[in-house]
């Protein structure tokens, strides 16, 4: 019963998605494919690559899983490995920090050789000459205990060694040929800032330190050959007892103490190296998650030795299994997105799916499976992407009917109002409210006269094309198309919803309207050279208060704006003809536009008005210095001085008809210093 109900819901959901149309279905398919890829490759497409944002999250989740697994199974101190260390107290005693004192090392090695260690590993690079080298070489050549001597080269570890250092290191190791002291790589895999996995086995490098030690001690079968998976980090069950015993190296320089120290060394693997603050420290999943101090690199080698002795080659999910997981979770998302449940059950289903996706990696980690490379975050993000793609397609299909209704209303009403009416039908009631608007009027010069010389069909075709181009400009800039008056376009910003950047968008739209008009002129001239040359588009812009809302009767309404600001914008558009300008804006709009491309065009008294208006036009190609100079010239009270300054600018822009007009107007100002537009 429940299964049939769910299948019915899915079928209805699929019908909804299909109604979104072929393009939307194709996009949905592409997004689902991307979701599968994301769910499979959350760590990156190759071991060395990463997906921005996703791969770092995958590593953080892995570190957290690793820490939790180790925290649940804390262990006693591992008695199989001992670390003999140079610590900060050692360096203080020998009064030498770098390189580490090799005379001290030689003495310690000589004594350790008598204590029955299985093998000794030196996590130290002898990459520069020291006075004690001959003593150390002699000690190493005489060792009966197998010794793995640290090796690195520029090709694989450029951050730790230079060319000259590598050259000396090789010569040092060559002097040990034929002895039980063998080279061993001390290179760790610290890719992406932390040591999480074993270093790769390379043919051009000796075996890694721990593997060399086990092989020379007769435990070669336990070296996990070819293993490059996760390091099985552990935590001590006591905060007072470290996971591996650590003894200062100076403890072993007195031969008389060998008898007492031998039980701590006999039958164990001994690692010698530094445990020095801020030196050779390694980030691990433990330190990255718990915020604890980073351990020395020596301890990471100890962890790998212990893992080999445990035979713990952590199994890793196969590529086929990872693909299966990715497909499973994306299919779950798609099916869930097709459901139309509107009750609490959908939320229970979502919670269960997220619990599965997030829980599986932790269960696998706790079960001893290597989850490094398991895209746990990718699963979740892939699920979200697929679910969003399907539900978005369903919403799009549901919006088809909505768009039809909106389009039908939009044939009579502005689209913004149509959308509001669909959302809230009660808005059909008549009302208006006062708002601050950015208003634009545009007009096509000479079109009315030209239309008398053309066939009506030609007039309709040209007018529709022109209004379509200008309408697109307004809508692209977020404006409301108020009305068309013949070839004139009226638009405003600030209603029904005001936005902080309305001023800038309106100003840019005004300039873009003029540009669209010029493009229309060129388009018509190229398409039919026999037509008369169409005039330019003039634009007027103003900011002010207006009453905006639905006006009309019960049978017919119009969403529009009324008020003096609308009239001012219309008169500014008309003034372009007298001022030989293209785009004219009032100071009120200019100061609220946030743009600096304006140039002052003086003060004018608009037709039918008594109060002067400071007007500006658009000059994006003018340098700021010239715009500033023009503003200063216009502000000069003396007409002759003002004209002289403007004349100097006109010499640089001789083809600028608006600037030339301003020069002429400067000599025809009224008592208030304004030009009266006739």
Q: What is the DSSP string of 118-180?
A: SEEEE-----S--TTHHHHHHHHHH--S-EEEEE--HHHHTTT--HHHHHHHHHHHHTTTTSS
Q: Which residue has the higher pLDDT, 23 or 422?
A: 23
Model pLDDT for residues 109-153, shown as the tens digit of each residue: 999 999 999 999 999 999 999 999 999 999 999 999 999 999 999
Nearest alpha carbon to residue 440 among 524, 517, 500:
517
Helix (H) or strand (E) segment spanning residue 348: helix 344-366
% of the chain at pLDDT higher than 70: 90
Nearest alpha carbon to residue 111 among 270, 256, 272:
256
Kindly tell me the burial class for residue 420, based on how many C-beta atoms sit within 10 Å of its own C-beta (0-12, 13-18, 19 or more): buried
Write down the residue that tokens 């004209």 correspond to: 643
Pairwise CA distance, residues 435 & 495, whole Å: 7
Write down the residue that tokens 């697994």 correspond to: 69
Taking the CA atoms of residue 430, residue 431, residue 436 and residue 437 in that order, the dihedral angle to the nearest 10 degrees is 0
% of the chain at pLDDT higher than 90: 62
Residues in a beta bridge with 273? 85
pLDDT beyond 90 at 425: no
Pairwise CA distance, residues 32 & 331, whole Å: 9
C-alpha angle with apex 197: 191 to 199, nearest 5 degrees?
Answer: 75
For residue 622, what are the CA distances in angstroms to 594, 627, 630, 652? Answer: 17, 7, 11, 11
119-122 and 269-275 strand pairing:
parallel
pLDDT confidence of residue 339: 75
Structure tokens at 128: 């520069």
pLDDT confidence of residue 2: 47
pLDDT band for position 531 (cuts 50, 70, 90):
confident
Write down the residue that tokens 């199994």 correspond to: 315
For residue 108, what are the CA distances in angstroms to 123, 138, 296? Answer: 15, 13, 20
Q: Which residue has the higher pLDDT, 398 or 387?
A: 387
φ/ψ (deg, to 5) at 371:
-100, 10
For residue 542, what are the CA distances in angstroms to 438, 585, 586, 596? Answer: 6, 6, 5, 16
Model pLDDT for residues 35-72, shown as the tens digit of each residue: 999 999 999 888 888 889 999 999 999 999 999 999 99
Which domains are assigned to the chain?
2-64+316-399 (no CATH), 78-309 (no CATH), 427-676 (3.30.70.1230)
Pairwise CA distance, residues 96 & 98, whole Å: 6
Cβ-contact 379, 42 below 8 angstroms = yes
pLDDT confidence of residue 533: 80
Concatenate the DSSP letters of all residues of 61-84 into one string: HHHHHHHHHHHHT-B--EEEEEEE
Over range 635-640, report the average pLDDT.
Answer: 89
Structure tokens at 526: 């190229």
Omega within 30 of 0 (cis) for the link into 34: no
Count CA atoms closer than 13 A to 285's CA, side-chain side: 25
pLDDT band for position 413 (cuts 50, 70, 90):
very low
Cβ-contact 117, 86 below 8 angstroms = no
pLDDT confidence of residue 314: 94
Pairwise CA distance, residues 585 & 593, whole Å: 10
């Amino acid at each position: 019963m429940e299964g049939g109900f769910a299948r019915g819901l899915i079928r209805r959901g699929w019908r909804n998605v299909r109604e979104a149309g072929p393009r939307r279905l194709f996009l949905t398919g592409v997004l689902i494919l991307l979701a599968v890829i994301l769910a499979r490759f959350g760590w990156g497409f190759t071991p060395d690559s990463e997906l921005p944002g996703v791969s770092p999250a995958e590593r953080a989740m892995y570190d957290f899983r690793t820490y939790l697994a180790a925290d649940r199974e804390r262990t006693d101190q591992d008695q199989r490995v001992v670390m003999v260390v140079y610590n900060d107290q050692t360096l203080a005693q020998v009064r030498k920090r770098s390189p580490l004192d090799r005379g001290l090392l030689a003495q310690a090695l000589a004594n350790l050789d008598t204590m029955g260690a299985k093998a000794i590993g030196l996590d130290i690079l002898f990459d520069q000459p020291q006075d004690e080298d001959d003593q150390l070489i002699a000690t190493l050549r005489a060792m009966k205990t197998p010794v793995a001597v640290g090796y690195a080269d520029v090709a694989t570890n450029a951050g730790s060694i230079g060319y000259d250092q590598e050259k000396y290191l090789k010569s040092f190791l060559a002097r040990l040929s034929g002895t039980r002291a063998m080279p061993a790589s001390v290179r760790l895999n610290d890719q992406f800032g932390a040591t999480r996995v074993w270093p790769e086995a390379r043919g051009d490098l000796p075996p890694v330190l721990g593997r060399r030690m086990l092989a020379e001690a007769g435990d070669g079968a336990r070296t996990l050959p070819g293993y490059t998976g996760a390091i099985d980090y552990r935590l001590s069950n006591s905060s007072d007892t470290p996971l591996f015993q650590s003894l200062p190296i100076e403890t072993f320089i007195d031969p008389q103490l060998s008898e007492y120290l031998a039980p701590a060394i006999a039958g164990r693997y001994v690692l010698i190296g530094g445990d020095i603050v801020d030196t050779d420290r390694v980030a691990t999943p433990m330190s990255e998650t718990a915020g604890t101090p980073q351990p020395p690199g020596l301890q990471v080698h100890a962890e790998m030795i212990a893992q080999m002795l445990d035979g713990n080659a952590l199994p890793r999910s196969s590529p086929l299994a990872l693909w299966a997981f990715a497909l499973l979770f994306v299919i779950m998302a798609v099916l869930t997105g097709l459901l139309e449940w509107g009750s609490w059950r959908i939320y229970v289903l979502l919670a269960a799916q997220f619990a599965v996706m997030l829980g599986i990696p932790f269960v696998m980690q706790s079960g001893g499976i290597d989850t490094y490379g398991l895209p746990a975050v990718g699963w979740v993000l892939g699920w979200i992407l697929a679910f969003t793609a399907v539900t978005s397609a369903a919403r799009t299909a549901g919006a088809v009917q909505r768009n039809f209704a909106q389009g039908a209303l939009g044939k009579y009403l502005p689209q913004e109002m149509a959308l509001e009416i669909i959302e809230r039908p009660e808005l059909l009631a008549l009302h208006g409210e006062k708002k601050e608007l950015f208003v634009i009027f545009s007009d096509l010069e000479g079109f009315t006269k030209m239309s008398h010389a053309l066939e009506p069909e030609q007039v309709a075709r040209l007018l529709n094309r022109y209004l379509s181009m200008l309408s697109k400009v307004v809508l692209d800039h977020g404006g409301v198309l108020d009305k068309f008056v013949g070839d004139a376009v009226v638009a405003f910003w600030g209603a029904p919803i005001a936005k902080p950047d309305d001023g800038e968008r309106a100003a840019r739209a005004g300039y873009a309207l003029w540009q669209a008009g010029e493009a229309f002129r060129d388009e018509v001239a190229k398409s039919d050279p026999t037509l008369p040359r169409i005039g330019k588009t003039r634009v007027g812009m103003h900011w002010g208060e207006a009453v905006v809302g639905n006006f009309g009767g019960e049978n017919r309404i119009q969403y529009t704006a009324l008020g003096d600001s609308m009239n001012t914008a219309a008169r500014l558009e008309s003034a372009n003809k007298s001022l030989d300008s293209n785009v004219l804006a009032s100071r009120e709009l200019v100061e609220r536009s946030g743009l600096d491309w304006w140039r002052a065009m003086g003060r004018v008294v608009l037709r039918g008005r008594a109060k002067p208006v400071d007007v500006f036009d658009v000059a994006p190609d003018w340098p700021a210095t010239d715009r500033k100079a023009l503003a200063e010239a216009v502000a000069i009270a003396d007409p002759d001085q003002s004209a002289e300054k403007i004349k100097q600018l006109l010499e640089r822009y001789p083809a600028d008809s608006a600037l030339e007009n301003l020069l002429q107007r400067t000599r025809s100002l009224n008592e208030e210093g304004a030009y009266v537009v006739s």
